[in-house]
Structure 1
Amino acid sequence: MNRKSNRGWTMAAALVVVGSTLFTGCASKNDPIAQADKADVAKGVPAPSLEQTKAIAEEGFIYGLPLVMNYAVMNEFAVDPKSSQFKAPFNQLHNEHRVATPADTAVITPNSDTPYSILWTDLRAEPLVITVPAVSKKRYYSVQLIDGNTYNYGYIGSRATASAPGSYLIAGPDWKGATPPGIDKVFNSTTPFSLTLIRTQLFNPADMPNVEKVQAGYKVQPLSAFLHQPAPVAAPKIDFVPATTAGIKDNFFEYLSAALEYVPPSADDKAIRSKLASIGVGPGRRFEFKDLSLEHKAVVLLGMKAGDEKVDKFLSSGMKNINGWNVGAFFGDQAFYKGDWLMRAGAAKGGLYGNDAVEAMYPYTRTDGKGQTLDTSKRNYTLTFPAGKLPPVNAFWSVTLYDGKSQLLINNPLNRYLINSPMLSAMKKNADGSLTLYIQKDSPGKAKESNWLPAPDDTVYLVMRLYWPKTAPPSILPAGEGSWQPPALVVSK
């Protein structure tokens, strides 16, 4: 949460006093909650009280956080060509010939291990076909399919489909049909707009030309083109409600109404969507926070604050604490979540677009092994893997450092944002064969700089990434119960 957001929550506390005493009933004629109330009353449904409105705002924040975050990223990546984060229009693949840096701000906790190929799909008119080349078994790659609910609805790649070439159909919720000839598998998105993230392993900076050759083999085309058939009528153009990741807290329910336009309802979310409609939030509605009465502003802001606190509590205590690291599995498909909106919100806030546990595990921490907040303005830390106990993976592992508040990468003198297993050959091991990483703002000395993860003069957030974790012991799986455990961060002397 940024400082601006904290001021917003403080404002809410003040507004609730004002709203509940001096200005009760003084609503704008355009107040979307009041307008929704009138519609419900006309149908014989009692209008929600202020307390009920607060509860709906709280539940709606938890339900809607991943949808809103995804909608804002979609706007920045695929809708607004003027955005500094813009990648490509819908249905055009964009290959990044670099890894993430502090300049990448649209997605929190970005992966800086692998160059991305990014595709936002518009599946309304017809499905798309993604074709992948043969990829060396030594180079990990994955194609992660994520829909507008932030459900991972399928995988292609080293783990899921081996390293062989193939063509795969990506279909929207309205498509029905038999598997077309030449298609290896069909994947179904729950939403008409979805995101495809392709990660291609980079061994070192000099390896980038090889990564680019692999990326050049990723192909995307409409099903009609793949089958050499006439294209269907194009889907109508949409004027999306503008959204930015920086504007989420200030425009949350405006963005949620816009996002829900492109998220078909399901049995899982029928109840919460009905509650949101009772306060004027939903498809086809233009919720405007500025139009709310003071008392409605107050209870909505307080509800959002309570929801945000529940998400933070989940992130700090909803996982298994192992040596100060939070270890668990909280990314998956619709069947995985089973309508657990708190888990889904925690997953999004912890690291939007994370993988299923079988594809990657993400131990994360804001504390050392004794539970004290990681603050590299005050302390230096070490992370030591005992001999023979590096993270057990089929692909590779990394430890990435982020700003403790924004969860974004941080500028540093080495332009080093992580330490990963491909760097091992250049790192120094201890006499007993163990490996120590130095996490601090000042250099640990030239002899140790190969093992140094430069930190800011501030609090930090650390995330491990274990790509394609091994399942045979020692393993981090099952999540939170595995035989391998991440070592504690220790304050160095």
Structure 2
Amino acid sequence: MQERDRIMMAMLRSLGIEKGRPFQPDARMAKLLTEATLVGEAMAKVNDYEKRDMALAHYADGSAWEFALCLDPSQETANYTQLDERAAWFYEATATSKGMVSKTPGVGSVYLATYKDTDGNWLDGANTYRLHVPPNPPVTQFWSITLYDVSSRALIQNNTEITDRSSRQDLIKNTDGSVDLYFGLTATKGLEKNWISTLAGKAWFPYFRLYGPTQAHFDRTWTLPSIEKVSK
């Protein structure tokens, strides 16, 4: 048991969850816990997908993108344990490392996430969206974008079995070297290589990863535009 988890274990103990003790909730407790899971899930989603009070989530002014991982690997600050930041990250993911929050150009990776489009609306699998990736992305290795299901936080389950596009692939580029990526039910004609299929009735969110981020990322001379909804 890690020291920072002892207070959590104390709260679980009052629910009958304790090391070495069989978990045998009575009908009343089972009902309460079932209701609590629904409330807890809603709290977790808000805490994760609407990081209003997490300063380290801020990416760039005017951008809907944010840092998915706004948690120090130690999960500590000088004055408190990063409770909300910890809960947000581990609702979405399972591990963290110093390399994922590197501040050294050319080292580690950067995880950007967004949950809304340029109009502030949640990303919807029934709509079509475009992401413009400007030329000269700030990476020494490569960039990639991957789509995840909001409810499961796992890869989206589409009929193409393709959930990722990256600079390692043969993407169609614009004349200035930029790339337009599309997300929706059907591919934009002629740009199938730049498309990821989504599903009606399924909300989704992406991670945009920079591997070996360069100084242009850290000083924000290169920023990633928000995802925009387009009509087809």
TM-score, with length taken from structure 2: 0.78
Which consecutive unaligned segments of at least 5 residues does structure 2 have? 52-56, 103-107
Instruction: Assess if the C-alpha contact under 8 Å between 2:131 and 2:182 holds in 1.
Output: yes
Count of aligned pairs: 214
**1:287-436 alignment runs, 5 A limit:** 287-288=23-24, 291-294=25-28, 296-318=29-51, 319-320=57-58, 323-334=63-74, 336=76, 339-355=81-97, 356-358=100-102, 359-377=108-126, 379-388=127-136, 390=137, 392-412=138-158, 414-423=160-169, 426-436=170-180
Find the aligned partners of 1:335 and 1:349 in 2 and give their Cα distance: 15
Instruction: Assess if the C-alpha contact under 8 Å between 1:311 and 1:342 holds in 2.
Output: no
CA pair 457-305 structure 1, distance change in 2 beyond 3 A: closer
Query: Residue 448 of structure 1: CA displacement?
Result: 1.3
Query: Residue 277 of structure 1: CA displacement?
Result: 2.2
1:177 matched to which residue of 2?
Answer: none
1:272 matched to which residue of 2?
Answer: 8
Q: Is the counterpart of residue 465 in structure 1 residue 203 in structure 2?
A: no
CA pair 443-278 structure 1, distance change in 2 beyond 3 A: closer
Find the aligned partners of 2:207 and 2:75 in 1 and give their Cα distance: 26
Aligned partner of residue 396 in structure 1, secondary structure? strand
Larger Rg: 1
Query: Residue 411 of structure 1: CA displacement?
Result: 4.5
Instruction: Assess if the C-alpha contact under 8 Å between 1:369 and 1:490 holds in 2.
Output: yes
Query: Residue 488 of structure 1: CA displacement?
Result: 0.9
CA offsets, 1:11-41, max 9 Å, x none?
xxxxxxxxxxxxxxxxxxxxxxxxxxxxxxx
Aligned-partner residue type, residue 292 of structure 1: D
Find the aligned partners of 1:278 and 1:407 in 2 and give their Cα distance: 30
Instruction: Assess if the C-alpha contact under 8 Å between 2:146 and 2:165 holds in 1.
Output: yes
Higher relative contact order (CA 8 A, sep 6+): 2
Equivalent of 1:485 in 219, 223, 231: 223
CA offsets, 1:256-300, max 9 Å, x none?
xxxxxxxx241x233332232233222112223xx3242x33433
CA offsets, 1:405-460, max 9 Å, x none?
3233345454322111111xx22222343210111221211x21121222223332
Find the aligned partners of 1:413 and 1:491 in 2 and give their Cα distance: 22
Instruction: Assess if the C-alpha contact under 8 Å between 1:398 and 1:465 holds in 2.
Output: yes
CA pair 307-376 structure 1, distance change in 2 beyond 3 A: closer
CA offsets, 1:388-420, max 9 Å, x none?
3x2x22332101122333233345454322111
Which consecutive unaligned segments of at least 5 residues does structure 1 have? 1-263
**1:160-171 alignment runs, 5 A limit:** none
**1:23-34 alignment runs, 5 A limit:** none
2:54 matched to which residue of 1?
Answer: none
**1:436-475 alignment runs, 5 A limit:** 436-445=180-189, 447-458=190-201, 459-470=203-214, 472=215, 474-475=216-217
Aligned-partner residue type, residue 132 of structure 2: T
Larger helix percent = 1
Find the aligned partners of 1:376 and 1:265 in 2 and give their Cα distance: 40
Give the superposed CA RMSD: 2.7
